[in-house]
Amino acid sequence: MEYIVVTGLSGAGKTQATKVLEDLGYYCIDNLPVDLLPSFTDLALRNSGELSKVALAMDIRAGNFFDKLRSALNAAQSNGFECKILFLEADKDVLIKRFKESRRTHPLDPGESLERCIAKETDILFDIRKDADYIINTSRLNLSQLKNAICEALEGALDSAKVKITLTSFGYKKGIPMDSDFMFDLRFLQNPYYQEELRVLTGNDKVVRDFVMGFPESREYYHKIKDLVIFVIGQCVKEARSQLIVSIGCTGGQHRSVTFVNLLAMELTEQGFKTEIVHRDL
Phi, psi of 8 (to 5 degrees): 140, -165
Provide the pLDDT for residue 160: 47
Q: Give which of 75, 95, 118, 88 is closest to 5, Cα–Cα.
A: 88
In sequence order, what are the residues at sequence separation of 6 or more whose Cβ sits closer than 8 angstroms to the Cβ of residue 127? Answer: 66
Phi, psi of 278 (to 5 degrees): -130, 110
CA 229, CA 203: separation in Å to the nearest integer? 20
Provide the pLDDT for residue 13: 92
Which H or E run includes 22?
helix 14-23
Provide the pLDDT for residue 248: 98
> What pLDDT tens digit does each residue of the chain (282 aa) get?
788 999 999 999 999 999 989 888 888 988 887 788 888 888 877 776 667 788 989 887 766 666 677 777 778 788 777 888 999 999 999 999 999 888 888 888 777 888 999 999 999 888 889 888 899 999 988 888 888 888 888 865 555 456 889 999 999 999 999 989 999 999 999 999 999 999 999 999 999 999 999 999 999 999 999 999 999 988 887 776 778 999 999 999 999 999 999 999 999 998 888 899 999 998
Q: Report the 10 Å Cβ neighbour count for 257.
A: 32
Query: Are residues 56 and 29 in contact, defined by beta-carbon separation less than 8 angstroms?
Result: yes
Query: Are residues 94 and 139 in contact, defined by beta-carbon separation less than 8 angstroms?
Result: yes
Strands of 172-269 (E only): list them. Answer: 182-185, 243-250
Q: Report the 10 Å Cβ neighbour count for 133.
A: 13
CA 25, CA 14: separation in Å to the nearest integer? 17
CA distance to 29, 40, 153, 168, 191, per residue, from 51 (Å): 11, 10, 21, 30, 48
Provide the pLDDT for residue 75: 80
Q: Give which of 12, 34, 1 is closest to 150, Cα–Cα.
A: 12
In sequence order, what are the residues at sequence separation of 6 or more whose Cβ sits closer than 8 angstroms to the Cβ of residue 47? Answer: none
Domains of the chain, earliest start first: 2-160 (3.40.50.300), 164-279 (no CATH)
Taking only the tens place, the pLDDT of each residue in 70-94 is: 777 778 788 777 888 999 999 999 9
DSSP code for 255: S
β-sheet bridge partners, residue 87:
7, 135
In sequence order, what are the residues at sequence separation of 6 or more whose Cβ sits closer than 8 angstroms to the Cβ of residue 227? Answer: none
Q: Give which of 36, 75, 85, 280 is closest to 174, Cα–Cα.
A: 280
Provide the pLDDT for residue 48: 63
CA 114, CA 101: separation in Å to the nearest integer? 13
Determine the 3-state secondary structure of 185 from DSSP: strand
* Predicted TM-score (pTM) of this structure: 0.63
Provide the pLDDT for residue 40: 82
